[in-house]
Chains A and B, each alone.
Chain A
Amino acid sequence: MKTISKKPPKLSRRYLHDRKWVSTHIQELMEKYPDQWILVYDGKVIANHTELGPVWDKADALRLEQPFFHLIEGGVRVY
């Protein structure tokens, strides 16, 4: 493990806000999007799908900067 100089982008305020938004609304998101990947931007769910691919593609199509992706678990999941 080491630190590197070529830095990846910092997490934006909007990204952190969207992360907090998901955490705050997680219960209703579980009801609406169980076991689906969601794409959140500016406090809105832009896309959802059981697979990550279509959600990722939507973010790229919209050219969203640092979109927030999250897999919503529909209940207790043991991996």
Chain B
Amino acid sequence: MSTKIRLLWQTSFDPIHLAHGHHVKIIRLYSPICFKTPTGWSHAFNAIIDIGSPLTVLPKKIWQNIDILEILSEPVPLGGIGKGVLMARLARILFVFLDTRKEVVELTIKAYLADDDSVPLLLGIEDLITKTRLICDYPKNKAFLQLS
């Protein structure tokens, strides 16, 4: 028996290219998640499933308000995101998927705690794709994570 976590496709078009008559799709895959806090549960957040990101990244405001299980490093530079050089600490956190039918599925993962509040919430490969099966069917508007 397996558990399915439903994911949501979102499609838009790049406005710059659109102005020149070119339809360049911006396709994202989202999953609503929330985190444990000292008093209960955080707000729900639409996290981007990002298989281009080796690890999960959390904006500052989120990790400042949730339970951090363990800090694993001092701030280290992250490339390719944010305003130039982004510093982030490696940590271990826990979150739950909200778009399941019955079960509540929690996941403990390593994540970067970004020292920036403008970055997206990204769910990266390690501890997510490494622990689940990602099934994508964009033409049929379906996607889910499967846990066995």
Whether A67 contacts B26 by the Cβ 8 Å rule is: no
Bound together, the chains give a CA A10 to CA B50 distance in angstroms of 24
B49-80 CB contacts (< 8 Å) to partner A: 50, 52-53, 57, 59-62, 65, 80
Question: How large, as a class, is the contact surface on chain A?
Answer: 35 or more
Q: Find B26's partner among A4, A11, A52, A76 (CB 8 Å cutoff).
A: A76
CA distance A10 to B104 in the complex (A): 10
List B contacts of A1 (CB < 8 A). 105-108, 131-132, 147
Task: Give chain B nearest CB distance to A6 CB in angstroms.
Answer: 8
Nearest CB of A to B57, in Å: 8
| Pairwise interchain contact A15-B44, C-beta atoms closer than 8 A | yes
Interfacial residues of chain A within 57-79, with CB under 8 A of chain B in the complex: 59, 66-71, 73-79
Question: Please, which residues of chain A bring their CB within 8 A of the CB of B15?
Answer: 27, 30-31, 74-75
Q: Are A2 and B106 in contact (CB-based, < 8 A)?
A: yes
Interface band, chain B: 35 or more
The answer to whether the Cβ of A45 comes within 8 Å of any Cβ in the partner chain is no
Q: Chain B contact residues: over half helix, strand or loop, or mixed?
A: mixed
A69–B106 CB distance below 8 A: no
Beta-carbon contact of A30 and B12 below 8 Å? yes
Query: Which of B8, B24, B117 is most buried by chain A, counting CB atoms within 10 A of its CB?
Result: B117
Q: B120 and A71: CB pair below 8 A? A: yes
Residues of B at the A interface (CB closer than 8 Å) are: 3, 8, 10-16, 24, 26, 28, 32, 34, 41, 43-46, 50, 52-53, 57, 59-62, 65, 80-81, 96, 98-99, 103-108, 117-118, 120-122, 131-132, 147
For this complex, 19 residue pairs linking A to B, each with C-beta atoms less than 8 Å apart, are A1-B105, A1-B131, A1-B147, A3-B3, A3-B106, A4-B96, A8-B98, A11-B98, A30-B15, A51-B118, A56-B43, A56-B61, A68-B44, A70-B46, A77-B120, A79-B57, A79-B80, A79-B120, A79-B122
